[in-house]
Amino acid sequence: MGRLYLIRHGQASMMADDYDALSEMGVAQSRVVGAWLARRGERFDHVVMGGLRRHAQTAQACLAELGELAAPPAVDPDLDEYEADGMIGRLRPALAERAAMRAWLAAQPHPRKAFQAVFAEAFARWTAAAHPDDYAIAWADFRARALAAVERIAAVCGSGQNALVFTSGGPITGIVQHLLGVPDARAGDVHFVLYNAGITELLCRPGSLALSYFNAIGPLEAAGREYLTYR
């Protein structure tokens, strides 16, 4: 039996010009997870990450703690996140540009809560598939793309081999949704509980994937409550 560890990226820079760069906390979260994995003493025969900067920075910080226990990373863009700005822009065109979103958030008394409310509504609109012509890719196709990526990784994991997969909340949501048979209307319930640098483990056999555990945060909790972030 092989094991795939899906690692959501560390905290990104929501209020900065470049969201795709990890915050200082995001780097620290990634190091905590890497140190925890290193203490387990397991070897990671395959390491795959999405093509975004926050994926690479999470992998870099985590793998620095693992050293020779992990193979060099490969990139699979099918593990990339959806384009959140465009998704929100379909719901609220005035917030389609990141500069406009930053300005709007800066005026809110609770910016992260305000963002989450808009983001949840925009995500529900996309996953409901009621406006298919509004999006470059349908949620079902996005989910299938992410699932195909982990299936390719699982196919090269022999008995007893482990893989580290650095990705985002969207792909993890789609994969878990598929494995558990969660309806599209409840996909947000999977997505919005995902912690930065949380760990989801999949077990694989030839032709089979199963969820072992979801969104584990034990290493982060042990480091301190401040390490627990969603955005």
Per-residue pLDDT reduced to its tens digit, 2-39 = 999 999 999 998 666 677 899 999 999 999 999 999 99
Indicate if the pLDDT at residue 209 is higher than 80. Answer: yes
Closest to 59 measured CA to CA, from 197, 202, 203, 207: 197
The CATH code that applies to domain 2-80+137-227 is: 3.40.50.1240
Boundaries of every domain in the chain: 2-80+137-227, 83-135
Per-residue pLDDT reduced to its tens digit, 59-97 = 999 999 999 999 999 999 999 999 888 888 898 988 888
The reported pLDDT for the residue numbered 14 is 67
Instruction: Tell which wins on pLDDT, 160 or 65.
Output: 65
Per-residue pLDDT reduced to its tens digit, 175-206 = 999 999 999 999 999 999 999 999 999 999 87
Per-residue pLDDT reduced to its tens digit, 129-149 = 889 889 999 999 999 999 999
The reported pLDDT for the residue numbered 147 is 97
3-class SS string, the chain:
CEEEEEEECCCECCCCCCCCCECHHHHHHHHHHHHHHHHHCCCECEEEECCCHHHHHHHHHHHHHHHHHECCEEECHHHCCCCHHHHHHHHCHHHCCHHHHHHHHHCCCCHHHHHHHHHHHHHHHHHCCCCHHHCCCCHHHHHHHHHHHHHHHHHHCCCCCEEEEEECHHHHHHHHHHHHCCCHHHHHHHHCCCCCCCEEEEEEECCEEEEEEEEECHHHHHHCHHHCCCC
State the average pLDDT over residues 196-219: 94
The reported pLDDT for the residue numbered 15 is 63
State the average pLDDT over residues 95-110: 85
